[in-house]
Structure 1
Amino acid sequence: MLHSLTSDDDRFRTIRFGTGLNLLVAERTDASTDTDSRNGAGKSSMVELLHFLLGARNEPKAVWAGEKLRDHTFRLKLDWPGRPETLTVTRSTTRPNRVTLDPDITRSSPGGLFEHAAEVSTKDWQWAMERDLYGVDSEGAEVSGRTLLSFAIRRVDAGGFLEPTRTFAQQSPHDAMVNLCHLFGLDVGLAARYRLLSNQEATRKKLVEAAKDPVWGKIVGRSAELRGEIGAIEQRVSELEHQIASFQVVPEYENIRREADELDRRIRSLRASEAVDRRNLQDMEQSVDEVAEPDDRYLESAYKQLNLILGQEVRRRFDDVRAFHETVVRNREKQLHEEISRLRRLLEERTRTRTRLGERQAALLHTLNSGGALDALNSLQYALAREQAHLESLRHRFQAAQALEASRREIEAKRLELEQEMVTDLEDRDTITFEASSLFNTYARRLYGDGKNPYLTFSPGKQRMQIEPKIEDDGSRGIHNMVIFCFDLTAAVIAHRAGRGPDFLVHDSHLYDGVDERQVARALQLAAEVTETERMQYIVTMNSDDLNKAVSMGFEANPYIIEPHLTDQPDGGLFGFRF
């Protein structure tokens, strides 16, 4: 149980708690004006300070992190399981990551008479609460001590009163169910598997969406597309491997290539010269056919027709001219034959040279075609390595794509299997669930009589374990808040009986907003009776006018009102000053 909440600031008004029901009341004084308000009296701040001292992480917007509370130190005295003396927890706003425990209860076993105070980290303090207050077996368990504590001390600013089975607005329903299963004594491991499957499904959906993106799709991919791409790369790799296997490195590769190029140039030059010579040979052979001696016999016939007689002197000159022309013709014919013979010999020699050069060129080209330079081989090997790496990457992506596409079916199958396991487990634990359901039903009927149909169900589903508290209502806020009251009281009692939870429950006055005064009176009376019977503690903050309404309905409040009496005056709040 909690005993006291104090501070090193003299203005702070110490709160002292007792057993059973504790009412911390904020009153409206006779000196109050219309502008005064009890909203800043410190009711919710008390809840925040309890969380601060019970290991809450340092939050920039929390009440203890404000400028007005800088350099303040707060202390909480409470009972601790298995120890006869009270535990004092001290935490300063200047060093929020450290907590002083007196005595040091973070060790696994008590230190006897010589046990002293120790300063520990908030993480060690949180683990000590998980171990001792909630009976958690080992660090790193599926449940969270801070989450479990938030069901015992709900925070209005975090959205603690929005739903019965959640204690802050952004809380994962799976996280909430895991911790609630611990409080009610159900199989936490099965509930944690729901959370794991939910996380896997969320990841799968993100990857599926990423596969549709043109950029991220290159990382994730689709199996059908990847299968085709793998086939193309495999063919390319096979071709490169064959080229490398048959590749021969040719020594003096560049010299051989240059010689082959030079032979090709010479062969083309010989062919060009040969074409010119064959044309010349053709012209000369034609000229030989056209060579003939001059015929002058027509002169004598012509002279006869003219009745002219040629003299000897004329005849002798004609004979000289004829002889000269015959000599010229014979010389030309001889010269043409000699030139034809020369051209034929030249053509034959060029043919033989061209044939020889062609054979040498063919040998060089065969050498080049059968192998290559070392640089070419290195390039082929580099290309092969690159394609092989690409192929391996594609295969990994293909396996991942197949796994992603198959993961939906696997997750669905695991969910069905898990649902059946949870059904079996609940059947085995029907005594536990029946006890919790009976308590909730009893508490709710104490508030609303037999006219409502209250129930608390534990039902396994495909998505998660469902714990649903319900009181038949018309959607009013008041009944909704009383569902939370009955649910929290049920969970606290069940957990405390089994040693899985602390012996205190704390509610802020916001829980009673909108609640009919009859249900307020019955809820406070019920809490007083239950905590007395179960040897527990229920702490609730209330405005005096709401309490007076309950009193008017027959509730006797005086025995349960604790000090201090908070007021709406500047110095009447919990801190002794207004923020």
Structure 2
Amino acid sequence: MKLISLTSNMPSFHSVIFKEGVNIILGKQASPTKGNDGNTYNGVGKSFTIHLIHFCLGSNKIGSFESSLSNWSFTLKFSIDGKVYTSTRHADEQNNLIFCGEKIPLKTFRAKLLSLCFNIEETPNYMTWNTLFSRFARRYRSSYINFDTFVPKETDYSKLLNNAYLLGIDYDLIIKKRNLRDKQDSANKTEKAIKKDPVFKQYYLGKHDADIDVTELNYKINQLQSELNSFKVSSNYHELEKEANDKSFSKKKLENKRSLINSNIKNITISLNQSIDVNSDQLLNVYKTANVEIPDMIKERIDNVMDFHNELLKSREIRLKKELQKNNIHLSSIENQIKELGEEMDRLLSYLNSHGALEEYLALTEQLSSLEHEKNRINDYKKILKTYQETRLDIKADFISQDKESDTYLEEQSDYLDRLKESFRSLSKRFYPKKSSGLIIKNNLGENLLRFNIDARIEDDSSDGVNEVKIFCFDLLILLSKVSNMRFLIHDSRLLANMDPRQREILFRLMNEYTETKEFQYICTVNEDTLQSIEPLMKKNDYEEIIEKNIVLELNDDSPESKLLGVQVDVDLEGNNKK
């Protein structure tokens, strides 16, 4: 991909016509002491140019465009492998773009560019069109802090994945380790949750402790099983049980009758044994004792009465003996009945004792099932924990296996990797011949997220300007790797701000050489004072060829008309990285 032009539907906009080789967008200030932070709040629109290129090439939505640039649209013309494409995006409708005359969703547009520029139809997580394209056009202030920071808040994994891909390093190994690490984290989190989750533990363990042996449960289960094995089910258990109860009731009634009869016999026997004989002489003696005279006629009547009384006594004795005989016969009958009922009850109770009802059998079966279920849940809980323990061990083994696989890869690709390292070292030596520098690509062993450690170093890279040189060298290394169809590199004036004038001069010379020999484009925004610092270091002809002839646009802050948009518009570019 090379850029051809950036235009707008608004006539006040200063179009940018890109050319082969170096392209300089120059920012001038009417008051040189006035600060320029590259933002459209205070600047002339140099950095805005880079944001608009991103905007036309499918960046995330820029919210401030809707309020500040209503009715504006921007068109970027570019070529890929010699074929020309156009992309138009409206500030009011950012979810769609017009790609070569066809309106398509933003997602579709990004997919097309992925295929055209990177020859891939689908990228893994953390590697997208925007993350890949940002490696060729650093856009934000934060992008100029570290060599491997291109997107705000980008994770270390995303940095490694995108950088490794563009450097031609096997990114499948990176993804494999990430997946393994995710698997490990998921297993660890799940295992901890299982151990701590009270609901989960209550379901599987109840009141049991998984660390306590289930011997007691096994003992109870064996007892119940033995009881069930010897259990005999009676189909008419309840009928027999009712019959036994009825016979028991009948027996008690008979026993009560027997008690009454025995009482009657006892009373009759007592009555028979009592003597109640009274004669007439005894009666007369009573009267004599009382000095009472009894006439002969009365004496005759007393004799008659006594005779009648004696007859009554005889009749009474006969009746009592008959009653006694009757009670004895009845008693014998009742005792026989009681004996028969007792024998029948013994038989029934013996049967009932050796048999049980179906529901009793089912209750025992249910109790056994409940105990076995408790035991199985405890065993299942232990199996689950054991599975995660085995998974942890398997993952550890996989980490070791992948470490070995990556070591083998680095050995097999040592020639290519050495060329990468040498390219970075050669670039940095152009700036600092006496400083040690290098690109480090190492296998990151152990149970962690990142497969490789990729680090770019230049001695004293914490010093002003050295870090910016390292950023430039790393970006150029990605471009020179030619893993993609990207054939341009864009830098903002922030990259040059802290550099020594000598390093600035070397940078432009270097890019002039590479754009001629490698057919690249280099696009940069530059402040006027930066070029003024370079001019004394170059011969006049060199300065004209490398700098002056490559200025494709000049922007001034003397009036709104001289700025990029041609009107005064304040657009917040740094605070609206919305998806």
- What TM-score range do you get, normalising by the shorter chain? 0.7 to 0.9
Match of 1:480 in 2: 467
Match of 1:18 in 2: 19
What's the TM-score, normalizing by structure 2? 0.76
AA aligned to 1:284 is: N
Match of 2:422 in 1: 438
Any conservation in 2 of the 1:182–1:500 contact (CA below 8 Å)? no
Correspondent of 2:441 among 455, 458, 462: 458
CA gap 1:476/1:264 in 2 versus in 1, 3 angstroms:
farther
Any conservation in 2 of the 1:220–1:397 contact (CA below 8 Å)? no
For 2:173 and 2:247, the matched residues in 1 are separated by: 88
CA gap 1:562/1:417 in 2 versus in 1, 3 angstroms:
same
Match of 2:491 in 1: 507
Kindly report the root-mean-square deviation, in angstroms, between the aligned alpha carbons of the 2 structures: 4.8
Correspondent of 1:88 among 61, 86, 89: 86
Any conservation in 2 of the 1:194–1:465 contact (CA below 8 Å)? no
Q: What are the residue-to-residue correspondences of 1:398-477 with 2, within 5 Å?
A: 401-450=385-434, 452-462=435-445, 463=448, 464-473=451-460, 475-476=462-463
Identity %: 21
Offset, 1:476: 4.1
Q: What are the residue-to-residue correspondences of 1:174-323 with 2, within 5 Å?
A: 174-214=157-197, 217=200, 225=210, 257=238, 263=243, 266-290=246-270, 291-294=272-275, 321=309
For structure 2, the 5+ residue unaligned runs are: 571-579
Residue 170 (structure 1) aligned with residue 156 (structure 2): no
Residue 53 (structure 1) aligned with residue 56 (structure 2): yes
CA gap 1:174/1:358 in 2 versus in 1, 3 angstroms:
same
CA gap 1:459/1:36 in 2 versus in 1, 3 angstroms:
closer
Offset, 1:6: 0.8
What's the TM-score, normalizing by structure 1? 0.76
CA gap 1:293/1:225 in 2 versus in 1, 3 angstroms:
closer
For structure 1, the 5+ residue unaligned runs are: 103-116
CA gap 1:172/1:400 in 2 versus in 1, 3 angstroms:
farther
Partner of 1:55: helix, strand, or coil? coil
Offset, 1:296: 6.2
For 1:570 and 1:426, the matched residues in 2 are separated by: 55
Match of 2:336 in 1: 348
Any conservation in 1 of the 2:217–2:375 contact (CA below 8 Å)? no
Deviations 1:34-60 (A, max 9, x none): 69976313233222221222233x42x
Partner of 2:510: helix, strand, or coil? helix
For 1:568 and 1:424, the matched residues in 2 are separated by: 61
Residue 560 (structure 1) aligned with residue 541 (structure 2): no
Match of 1:489 in 2: 476
Deviations 1:144-193 (A, max 9, x none): 44322111112316x43343224224333333323322222222222221
Partner of 2:273: helix, strand, or coil? coil
Offset, 1:504: 0.6
For 1:162 and 1:220, the matched residues in 2 are separated by: 53
Offset, 1:461: 1.3
AA aligned to 2:334 is: L
For 1:21 and 1:131, the matched residues in 2 are separated by: 27
Any conservation in 2 of the 1:7–1:14 contact (CA below 8 Å)? yes
Larger RCO: 1 or 2 (CA < 8 Å, sep 6+): 2
Partner of 1:160: helix, strand, or coil? helix
Offset, 1:225: 3.6
CA gap 1:247/1:271 in 2 versus in 1, 3 angstroms:
closer
Match of 2:574 in 1: none
Match of 1:535 in 2: 519
Count of matched residue positions in the alignment of Structure 1 and Structure 2: 539
Correspondent of 1:42 among 18, 41, 45: 45
AA aligned to 2:89 is: R
Offset, 1:386: 11
Offset, 1:456: 0.5
Any conservation in 1 of the 2:233–2:356 contact (CA below 8 Å)? no
Match of 2:6 in 1: 5
Deviations 1:419-460 (A, max 9, x none): 22212212222222122212222222332331x321111101
Offset, 1:90: 2.4
Match of 1:74 in 2: 74
CA gap 1:323/1:220 in 2 versus in 1, 3 angstroms:
closer
CA gap 1:388/1:268 in 2 versus in 1, 3 angstroms:
closer
Any conservation in 1 of the 2:117–2:486 contact (CA below 8 Å)? yes
Correspondent of 1:339 among 316, 327, 336: 327
CA gap 1:167/1:213 in 2 versus in 1, 3 angstroms:
farther
Match of 1:113 in 2: none
Partner of 1:170: helix, strand, or coil? coil
Partner of 1:21: helix, strand, or coil? strand
Offset, 1:265: 5.2
Q: What are the residue-to-residue correspondences of 1:372-411 with 2, within 5 Å?
A: 401-411=385-395
For 1:21 and 1:296, the matched residues in 2 are separated by: 164
AA aligned to 1:411 is: I
